[in-house]
């Protein structure tokens, strides 16, 4: 109940300060109080990533990868024997499910498998699939002492090396969404030897510089950080299932949750699959360390893409400087394609365009031709194949002869 109360308070603050226009942002869910979501949607909601993949007749495997600092990660695989490996990494509070949740006509995982790729779906430390460690207990504080910096320098390298060893390939394709792009930039700037292992990196809704993000929640979080942390979790933030019951418990609360979703990622009813809302809520949030959100909030305040700020004294001890060092993006020499949109509340076009100028080898900057396209539409949007993945595959063809854009734009 603390989370519900906090969310209502946030809505009231946003409305009272005219940060949020309740009329402009409202979405009425027209259903009777006793009406239930379709049974197949509820089954998908309560299924794991491999179970969903198998439900649609695709192969699914589960692999476990141990990082150098002892975290045990789960990687899901849609095996294509002999196929070029393609690694997909999720965003903040998300999981491997994000690329397959919406089914074979939308999900990027299915599309790539159909085109002949050996698809691997990563899970960062701290989410529902990667909450194990060789010695640390996830119920204790020490387990959660990380941000997306550690995901970049430990998790991604461990998973990439595991995939290349398992497939006997020297390089792979990489695509990330949101935090999956942030951690990639960390990896290639701090561990530049991994650049040579990437054929092409495709960044969906890339997040690095955050000066101009639109979501009003960033402002509220920074103002009330102490209370927010106590509510959402001082160390672990929103584990899987924490919000699921709220999303479908009543018509009024469901409307509040959908409004909050739109105020976080950007409102786009055109691409919002209302029927799948219960499944979205069960799989997102999937858990994370609170420090991951704090680290992002620091980027918003500083205007820099830099390491975690522990305060002047600890910074001096850790970094040798009072402020955390920047990530040197010129060291990201793997080819990088950026895909961004106007209505993404979590990464602004001006920030993405600046990111493009800082990268060591940018090869594409694609602005989605739909003004309303939001942050989660890159993985869940009804017409994402036409609006994004068609260009995504065209760019890939510059780096391989595999794949085809045929049937990508099929109406769903």
Helix (H) / strand (E) containing 162 = helix 156-167
- For the chain, the straight-line distance linking the first and the last C-alpha, in angstroms and rounded, comes to 38
Handedness of CA 366, 258, 89, 104 (dihedral sign): negative
Instruction: Determine which one of 94, 118, 309, 344 is catalytic.
Output: 344
Residue 230 neighbours by CB distance under 10 Å:
12
Q: Supply 106's token pair.
A: 């939308």
Query: Is the preceding peptide bond at 285 cis, omega within 30 degrees of 0?
Result: yes
Give the span between the Cα atoms of 264 and 276, in whole angstroms: 18
Residues 6+ apart with CB under 8 A from 301: 222
List 76, 90, 283, 375, catalytic entry = 375
Q: Tokens 């900057």 belong to which residue?
A: 365
Distance CA 21, CA 216 (A): 11
Catalytic residue among 47, 95, 130, 178: 178
Per-residue 3-state assignment (H helix, E strand, C coil) for 187-211: HHHHCHHHHHHEEEEEEECCCCCCC
Place of tokens 């809704």: 205
Indicate if 178 belongs to the active site. yes
Tell me how long the chain is: 412
Looking at the DSSP assignment, which residues form a beta bridge with residue 339? Answer: 204, 366
Which residues are within 8 A (CB) of 60 and not within 5 positions of it... i.e. 6 or more apart?
49, 50, 51, 53, 54, 76, 77, 78
Spatial separation of the C-alpha atoms in residues 71 and 136, rounded to whole Å? 9
- For the question of residue 351 being annotated catalytic, the response is no
How many whole angstroms separate alpha carbon 261 and alpha carbon 257? 6
Please, is 139 exposed, middle or buried when counting C-beta atoms within 10 Å of its C-beta (0-12, 13-18, 19+)?
A: exposed
The residues annotated as belonging to the active site are 178, 344, 375
């Amino acid at each position: 109940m603390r989370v519900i109360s906090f969310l209502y308070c946030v809505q009231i603050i946003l409305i009272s300060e005219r940060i949020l226009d309740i009329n402009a942002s409202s979405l009425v869910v027209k259903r009777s109080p006793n009406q239930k979501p379709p049974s197949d949607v509820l089954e998908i909601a309560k299924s794991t990533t491999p179970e969903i993949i198998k439900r649609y007749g695709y192969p699914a495997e589960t692999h476990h990868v141990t990082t150098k600092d002892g975290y045990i990660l789960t990687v899901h695989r849609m095996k294509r024997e002999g196929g070029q490996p393609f690694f997909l990494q999720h965003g903040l509070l998300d999981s491997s499910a994000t690329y397959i949740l919406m089914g074979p006509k939308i999900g990027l995982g299915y599309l790539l498998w159909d085109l002949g790729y050996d698809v691997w779906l990563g899970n960062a430390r701290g989410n529902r699939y990667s909450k194990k460690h060789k010695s640390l207990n996830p119920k204790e504080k020490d387990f959660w002492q990380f941000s997306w910096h550690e995901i970049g320098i430990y998790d991604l390298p461990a998973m990439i090396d595991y995939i290349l060893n398992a497939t006997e390939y020297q390089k792979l394709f990489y695509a990330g969404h949101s935090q999956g792009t942030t951690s990639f930039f960390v990896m290639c700037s701090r561990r530049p030897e991994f650049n040579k292992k990437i054929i092409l990196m495709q960044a969906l809704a890339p997040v690095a510089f955050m000066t101009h993000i639109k979501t009003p929640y960033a402002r509220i979080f920074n103002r009330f950080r102490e209370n927010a942390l106590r509510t959402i979790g001082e160390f672990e933030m929103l584990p899987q299932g924490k919000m699921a019951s709220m999303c479908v418990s009543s018509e009024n609360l469901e409307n509040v949750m959908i409004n909050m979703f739109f105020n976080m990622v950007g409102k786009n009813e055109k691409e919002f699959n209302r029927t799948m809302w219960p499944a979205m809520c069960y799989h997102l949030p999937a858990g994370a360390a609170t420090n991951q959100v704090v680290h992002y909030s620091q980027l918003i305040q500083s205007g820099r893409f830099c390491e975690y700020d522990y305060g002047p004294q600890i910074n001096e001890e850790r970094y040798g400087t009072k402020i955390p060092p920047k990530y040197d993006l010129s060291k990201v020499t793997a080819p990088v394609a950026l895909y961004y949109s106007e209505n993404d509340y979590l990464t602004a076009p001006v920030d993405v365009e600046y990111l493009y100028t800082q990268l060591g080898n940018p090869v594409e900057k694609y602005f989605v031709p739909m003004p309303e396209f939001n942050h989660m539409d890159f993985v869940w949007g009804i017409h994402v194949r036409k609006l994004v993945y068609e260009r995504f595959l065209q760019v890939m063809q510059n780096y391989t002869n595999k794949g085809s854009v045929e049937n990508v734009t099929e109406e769903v």
